Amino acid sequence: MNTVTSSPAEDPVAPEVRDIGYGRMFADFYDRLFPPDGLPERTAAALARWQAGGRALELGVGTGRIAVPLARLTGEVVGVDSSPEMLELLRAAVEAAGVPVTAVHGDIRGYADGTGYGLVYSVCGTISLVLDPVEQRGVVARAARHLAPGGSLVVETHNPGAVHALHEGASRTSFFVPYPKPGTGLQTYSTLLPEQNLWHTSHLWHEDGRVRVGSEITRLTTPEDIDAHAADAGLVLVSRQGDWAGGPFLPEHSPVHISRYVRAADREERV
């Protein structure tokens, strides 16, 4: 059974959902930013190995790039997102794939459904879109409360070391990434805001003679930041890697850091 709606929380005007407008800017071209290189399937395979049965919960599900392949492997995934535009694309993807993904319009900073999950995860820098470190800590705390016994919390976000290396000491830089399709590519203008520990990027997507623009501001979130939030929530680090193939995390080179946490009691039982 595939579920494309979930609850009254899906009302796009629900007052408790603070939408930063990400979907309004990116939904039109978001999925095309990611080349068909098998990364969603590798990500889902890694997450499936860490899921302790039951259902999975994705915080910041977007268009379902990860939730759809994960649901094929492990069963139902509940996906929460504040963007009605992204959830509309998710529902279409779920309908086409025939997989059990439940779309929930909600705010990851306050989402709670009283359910225990064998896996809770947030990928592709979603946690860093929460700019307030106190609210970031709250997201991790709520995620921890959703873990069933033996469950894992997995967080992937940008590596600040690699971002600073990209800038080579400058506060601003720009770059262009060509895509295989002729006339297609991504042009990015990148600005570091060190006083606020923020990273501003504006992306220009070139395709078929058209240019679409999306901008985002993210917090430069270190592995130590996530570790501290997890520790406050009673979680301990199990593993950290620099890509979804299991490569090591290199502080100055890995584009992302991927961290897996479990409850301290669960870790002690395994030892």
Q: Which residues pair with 199 in a beta bridge?
A: 192, 218
Residue 1 lies in a domain: no
Residue 144 lies in a domain: yes
Q: What range does the domain containing 197 cover?
A: 162-217
Please tell me whether residues 58 and 127 are part of one structural domain: yes
The mean predicted confidence, pLDDT, of the chain is 92
Residue 95 lies in a domain: yes
Please tell me whether residues 125 and 238 are part of one structural domain: yes
The total of structural domains in the chain comes to 2
30: burial class by Cβ within 10 Å (0-12, 13-18, 19+)? buried
Please tell me whether residues 241 and 113 are part of one structural domain: yes
pTM above 0.85? yes
Determine contact, residues 162/253, Cβ cutoff 8 Å: yes
Using DSSP's 3-state secondary structure scheme, residue 202 falls into strand
Please tell me whether residues 43 and 97 are part of one structural domain: yes
Please tell me whether residues 119 and 59 are part of one structural domain: yes
Please tell me whether residues 209 and 88 are part of one structural domain: no
Q: For 213-267, what is each residue's pLDDT tens digit?
A: 999 999 999 999 999 999 999 999 999 999 999 999 999 999 999 999 999 887 6
Tell me the mean pLDDT in the region 8-31: 73
User: How many residues are recorded in the chain?
Assistant: 271
Other Cβ atoms less than 10 A from the Cβ of 202: the count is: 15
Residue 58 lies in a domain: yes
Please tell me whether residues 120 and 246 are part of one structural domain: yes
Tell me the mean pLDDT in the region 113-133: 97
Please tell me whether residues 137 and 188 are part of one structural domain: no
Please tell me whether residues 256 and 185 are part of one structural domain: no
Please tell me whether residues 227 and 195 are part of one structural domain: no
